[in-house]
Amino acid sequence: MSKYLLRCRECGTVWELRVSYSLRDFQQLYHYCNVCGKNTFHDIIRSESAEVHDIIDNS
């Protein structure tokens, strides 16, 4: 799981997006902004990879 910090270009709202795929090759993302109430371009400010835990089967 990866976490990305995004900022709306229209209103400046910063929020966190958690996805299971990499956005590394993107500089911007077209996504719905809850504050603007419409789809807008968002700049990807920072990315963080969440820790991945191994599943252990003790059966």
Report domain extents, the chain.
Answer: 2-49
Domain covering 2-49, topology: Rubrerythrin, domain 2 (2.20.28)
- Tell me the per-residue pLDDT of 3-58, one tens digit each, with 9 for 90 and over: 999 999 999 999 999 998 888 888 899 999 999 999 999 999 998 765 544 455 55
Q: What does 1-59 look like in DSSP terms, one character per residue?
A: -EEEEEEETTT--EEEEEESS--TT-SEEEEEETTTTEEEEEEEEEEEEPP-PPP----
User: Please, which contacts does 18-25 make with residues 24 or more away whose CB atoms are closer than 8 Å?
Assistant: 18/50, 23/47
